[in-house]
Amino acid sequence: MARPLTLHPDRLFPADPALRSLTRALYATVADVPILSPHGHTDPQWFADNAPFGNATDLLLKPDHYLFRMLYSQGVPLEQLGIGNPDADPRAAWRLLAQRYHLFRGTPSRIWLDWVFAQAFGIQVQLDASTADHYYDHITTALSTDAFRPRALFERYRIEVLATTESPLDTLAHHAAIRTSGWSGRVITAYRPDPVVDPEFEGFADSLARLSQLTGEDALSWDGYLAAHRKRRAFFASMGATSTDHGHPTAATADLSPTAAAALFQRVQRSDVSAGDAELFRAQMLTEMASMSVDDGLVMQIHPGSLRNHNAALFARFGRDRGADIPTPTDYVHALRPLLARHGNNPDLTIILFTLDETAYARELAPLAGHYPALRLGPAWWFHDAPEGMRRFRQQVTETAGFYNTVGFNDDTRAFLSIPARHDVARRIDCGYLAQLVVEHRIEDWEAADLAFELSYGLAKRAYRL
């Protein structure tokens, strides 16, 4: 017999009754605040076309690397989940998830999915082998209705702004379609130049050629390359972008002379580019991007520290973003110094730092953000974007950086319905943290209420210039 599925109203609240009661009161004030999603990886085509999502597997399993990495770790071949295999039976893939749903106990995926099942689809039994087909049919049927089209869901979950992430080579055709469609939803882009900034990115030379073509600049010369960036940034800004995003292996920055930078740019275009030059060029480009942000006002996000494609065999077969990116120890205090020496004291610039290395929270990031006017800290990210990870973020960052050098929540997801699920988790955890500060008499209750709103909405609104 299937077990009932319910979302307890006190989920993720602290156990202590006084803390729980106060958390409940704080959460009630922010539960329905609109969602700002200033950083993520959803597909703008969804909102341009507003076509139905398809089936349960297409919507919930295939875009969610948290799910397939866990299933793979326990011996499920990715092909059977439909990854890199269009012939896979989506219902069979769904059953593989359902049979192994216990693997997700204690993980955020369990929290997010149960929210989606119960809240978005109104399912009342738990997912397991016995309910797999019920789930698949129920969700797939719902997705064929207008209420589950992308724009309807966007509105249902009170999303005020949703940012996607695009390469400078993207024509932003979907964003243009959204803007001319008459639909009022605000879906904006963000400028993610990794493919034309990282000499080790697949197809770097071709990308530079394409950048020249798109901009009419000679993107193979240093001055033309910079001019091309400026043009694309301006175009992205005209399509709503308020930020850039930089996903580098490290947080290294450099501040070379124009002559040295130009010579380096020629070297990195060679097919035998050295690892050192590639790293130095990425480092230099972070400072160049900061300089452009000073001029055009785009907020700069730095997401360093992921060793991409750790599993060479998996990468060869399935390509990027298949769950084999692994965090690495990440230096900030030395790495950021060149950029900060150039722009760190500028209070009109906003650079938002993220980390996959939690050891940097209290040791480097909070001290840096608690000093430099240009710096802010992004929320717990990726592997740490879960209740315990979020708690560690607040506990390790707040005492040195306070709340006002942070920027609210990012969902950073490819899985659309996890957006409201994740924001709900973040608000619950933050309210629990604030309640603890009140019960320990470190802040007053009215301050906690003020901060609950800031963490849910205000800080993101201002930091991302939304």
- 90 closest CA partner among 49, 50, 137: 137
Interacting residue with a second copy among 1, 32, 86, 102 (CB under 8 A)? 102
Measured between alpha carbons, how far is residue 284 from residues 49, 124, 185, 258, 263 in Å? 39, 53, 37, 10, 12
Question: Toward a second copy, which CB reaches closer, 191 or 381?
Answer: 381
Q: Which two tokens stand for residue 117?
A: 């099942």
The residue among 189 and 418 lying less far from a second copy, judged by its C-beta, is 418
CB atoms closer than 10 angstroms to residue 197: 24
Three-state DSSP state, 36: strand
Distance CA 143, CA 155 (A): 16
> For residues 427 and 460, is the Cβ–Cβ distance under 8 A?
no
The least distance separating a second copy from the CB of residue 324, rounded to whole angstroms, comes to 6
- Confirm or reject binding of residue 295 to a second copy (CB under 8 A): no
Judged by CB under 8 A, the residue of 46, 104, 354, 409 near a second copy is: 104
Please tell me the distance from the alpha carbon of residue 448 to that of residue 27, in angstroms, as a whole number. 10
Candidate segments 50-58, 195-203, 224-232, 303-311, binder of a second copy by CB under 8 A: 303-311
**From 357, 411, 412, 430, residue interacting with a second copy (rule: CB under 8 A):** 357
* 252 touches a second copy (CB under 8 A): no
Site string for a second copy, 378-407 (x = CB under 8 A): -----xx-xxxx--x--xx-xxxxxxxx--
Q: 176-183: which pairs have CB atoms within 8 A and are 24 or more residues apart?
A: 176/239, 177/48, 177/49, 178/44, 178/47, 178/48, 179/239, 179/240, 181/48, 183/47, 183/50, 183/151
Q: Within positions 360 to 379, which residues make up the interface with a second copy, using CB under 8 A?
A: 362-364, 366-373, 375
**Ramachandran region of residue 297, left (φ > 0), alpha (ψ -120 to 50) or beta?**
left
- 341 near a second copy, judged by CB under 8 A: yes
Q: Please, which of residues 31-70 interact with a second copy by CB under 8 A?
A: 69-70
Among residues 5 and 273, whose Cβ is nearest to a second copy? 5
Of residues 33 and 326, the one with the C-beta less far from a second copy: 326
Sign for the pseudo-dihedral over CA of 284, 286, 289, 291: negative
CB 28 → a second copy: shortest distance, Å?
17
Closest distance between a second copy and the C-beta of residue 36, in Å?
A: 21
Nearer to a second copy, 239 or 290 (CB): 290
Does the footprint of a second copy cover residue 119 (CB under 8 A)?
Answer: no
**Total residues contacting a second copy (rule CB under 8 A)?**
96
181: contact with a second copy by CB under 8 A? no
From the list 244, 325, 320, the residue with the least C-alpha distance to 285 is: 244
